[in-house]
Amino acid sequence: MVETGLGPGIVFTAVAVLYATALARGRLDLIAVIAGPLFVVGLLFLWSWRQTGDVSTAGPGRPRGASLVACENAEMSSASTALDRHRAAVRARLSTAGAVRLDPCAVTWKVNREVIVIAGWGRAILLQLAHPLVAAGVADHSSFRGSLMTSFKRLASTVGAMLSLTFGTDEEAISAAAGINHIHDRVAGRLRERAGALEAGERYSAHDPGLVRWVHATLLESIPLTYELLVGRLTPEERDRYCAEAAIMEPLLDIPDGLLPRDSAQLDAYVREMLASGHIVVSGASRALARAILFPPRWWLMWPAFRPLQLITIGLLPPAIREGYGFRWSARDARALARWTAALRLFHRVAPRFLREWPAARRPTPLSSKS
């Protein structure tokens, strides 16, 4: 109960005290560097705590017509059938791939258990959106341009899927993968305007192995990079193992066997190839989505959370991609990133384990593929 119940209250009380002190002394920027990590962790653990709440206390909904109820029931039944079909397909692919379990000594476990590494997701997402077909799919089929609360709910949903895939039981990982595949079923369309080497009208699909490979590569690159920035060093062997262990995504997401990089050399070569291919071009849709992600409506209400995210995301982007998005990067920004990095590393060293690590990381071991 201390981890999920009292934790958020303690964190938010600490943030309130820090901000009151900052306002009294006129040093909001300095104190925010300390409060920011606490604020982010408090939000995430509050979400975790609410997820375990008793939903039976919710009041009855507004009466609905019989035809509307019947329509909703039919849609739910269809979605359930599709999810069951995807679960069965994932199980079959895992069996064929000979998936085995990781133990807590795995590099995936070491890296992904750290809450703070989600700070690298912003960089990965902007690299993903620099592919015009990925940006088109997100723009046409997602809610990235929603409110601040929508942004937080989307983050919570993504975190939940990540925890299930990384630390969940077999069935939780299979269900999470089936849910992703089911969502991908609906994401298809055409590019509306030319972007780089891609002509208008080019088809896209979330099941396209080439697009999934690019999305996967951006995460494989960004998460260890953020771990080394904010937590600690990884050896070359650990970076290679992280790539190899992540190959479990092939059977989980129906990616052709052998398509994903198995070590850091393959990853680096693939990323360089893509950046030079003419297919990674920041489009108008990319820029609009990046603005919605980093600067959503009323983002300043969560300034301690968004400021480090903005600095880490923009500062760690390849310069050409950063310029494509229209983000300026000055010496002042670099100094601000260095200050935030130092503060976050300090926070990580002194914070208790229940704030630093996902509770799910103490659960049974996840799946991995033989490689």
Cα–Cα distance, 114 to 369 (Å, whole number) = 22
Bridge partners of 368, per DSSP, are: 100
Strands (E), the chain: 100-101, 188-190, 203-205, 367-368
What is the Cα gyration radius of the chain? 21
How does DSSP assign 7-70, residue by residue?
Answer: HHHHHHHHHHHHHHHHHHHT-HHHHHHHHHHHHHHHHHHHHHHHHTS-GGGPPP-----HHHHH
Q: What is the mean pLDDT of each run of 10 residues along the chain (371 residues)?
A: 38 41 45 50 49 38 47 58 94 88 84 95 96 96 69 79 88 94 95 92 96 97 97 97 95 96 98 95 95 88 89 97 96 96 95 91 65 50
Rounded alpha-carbon distances, angstroms, from residue 245 to 91, 109, 204, 242, 251: 18, 10, 28, 5, 12
Task: Convert the pLDDT of each residue in 310-350 to its tens digit.
Answer: 999 999 999 999 999 999 999 999 999 999 999 999 999 99
Tokens of 364: 């049974």
Q: Domain coordinates of the chain in residue numbers?
A: 1-51, 72-368
Query: What is the C-alpha end-to-end distance of the chain, expressed in Å?
Result: 39
pLDDT at 144: 62
Tally the residues of the chain: 371
Cα–Cα distance, 11 to 16 (Å, whole number) = 9
pLDDT at 68: 44
Rounded alpha-carbon distances, angstroms, from residue 264 to 210, 237, 267, 298, 333: 18, 9, 5, 39, 29
